Amino acid sequence: MSENKDLYSLLGLAKGATDKEVRTAYRQLARKFHPDVNPGDEQAEARFKELSAAYEVLNDAEKRKLYDEFGHEGLRGGFDPEQARAYQKWESRRSSSGAAPHEDQYHFDMNDLRDFFGQDFARQQHRGPRAGADLRAQVDLDFVQALQGIEVSFSAPDGGTVTVRIPPGASDGSVLTVKGRGQAGEAGAPAGNLLITTRVRPHPHFTREGLDLTLTLPITFEEAYNGASVEVPTPDGRVQLKVPALSQNGGRLRLTGKGVARKDQRGDLYVELRVVAPDVKDEAFSEALSQVGRLYKKPVREGIEL
């Protein structure tokens, strides 16, 4: 997703939107641009991926807070908001001092600089050996790999090979630390760490909200009207789900404990029903449908007005 695109605008929202407004807007747009609804439409698929990426941020309280304050920069792996705030504070003081560009380089506030550069700056002041800097890498995972966990090997920035176990339940933007695999330090000082950021590709049928999953499940007219037992995929394998009779399009059912597993926590799996009309014309079926109107208790569009 382009960093020039505002995540709120992608969902048709303003910055102050509530959590409920974010969820509602995403679900409506995700249904509209879902690959199942638009088979073979690459533009719709790209739009669906943008919507999923935006929702992944705005539906996460911590990520949303960082995005609101720092924009896309705040979503980068290893981003340190405290250092960023210290730098902004220093920049603000420097700008408000009215000093010419060639003057202010000699009038730094040493406390601000120490806050911004952290322990590395303090070590230089005491002339001790400097520890190695942290290095960063990124691992791309598909949706299922992130749910189940996976062991990956890749070339590290220091030229070696790193094998790391991505634990089950990793989310987009999770950061794993491999100690001592960063840049080498000066004599007697420790090496830095390797910070690995996970990037999780969107799934065409599942979305994630914390530890909960939502599956958009197509069902037939008959299954919706008469009820049925249907098979659905979960992180633990396929299970049978009972669809109640007279189910409506957009109805939600819950499978408790079938969501994302992370350590000793477990989310739920929500199944959102999508009633699919037949795609073959049949005269007998058309004739039967013409009699359906009498089965509604009230007009389906009653009360719809501007």
Model confidence pLDDT, tens digit, residues 34-72:
887 888 888 888 888 888 888 888 988 888 888 898 888
Three-state DSSP class for residue 228: strand
Mean pLDDT (the chain) is 82
Reported as a pLDDT band with limits 50, 70 and 90, residue 136 is: confident
**Three-class SS string for 194-220?**
EEEEEEECCCCCEEEECCEEEEEEEEE
Q: Which residues pair with 240 in a beta bridge?
A: 231
Spatial neighbors of 121 by CB under 8 A, at least 6 apart, are 113, 114
Q: Identify the pLDDT of residue 163.
A: 86
Of 33-47, 217-231, 261-275, the one with minimum mean pLDDT is 33-47
Q: Which DSSP symbol is given to 104?
A: G
State how far the Cα of 283 lies from the Cα of 160, in Å rounded to an integer: 68
Query: How far, in Å, are 138, 148, 149, 166, 230 from residue 200 at the CA level?
Result: 11, 12, 12, 12, 28
**C-alpha pair distances (Å), 290 with each of 245, 284, 300:** 21, 10, 15
Query: For residue 221, what are the contacts with CB-CB under 8 A and spacing of at least 6?
Result: 275, 276, 277, 278
The CA distance from 241 to 45, in Å, is 28
pLDDT digits 0-9 by tens, 86-97: 767 766 766 665
Q: What is the mean pLDDT of residues 172-184?
A: 83
* pLDDT band for position 264 (cuts 50, 70, 90): confident
Distances from the Cα of 109 to the Cα of 82, 90, 101, angstroms:
17, 8, 16
CA distances, 40 to each of 27, 32, 35 (Å)? 21, 14, 8
Residues linked to residue 234 through DSSP beta bridges, in sequence order? 237
Residue 182, phi then psi, degrees to nearest 5:
-90, -155
- Distance of alpha carbon 47 from alpha carbon 58, whole angstroms: 16
Specify the pTM. Answer: 0.56
All domains of the chain in start order, with CATH? 81-125 (no CATH), 135-200 (2.60.260.20), 211-290 (2.60.260.20)
The structure tokens listed for 119 are: 């322990």
pLDDT at 247: 95
Q: How confident is the model at residue 8 (pLDDT cuts 50, 70, 90)?
A: very high
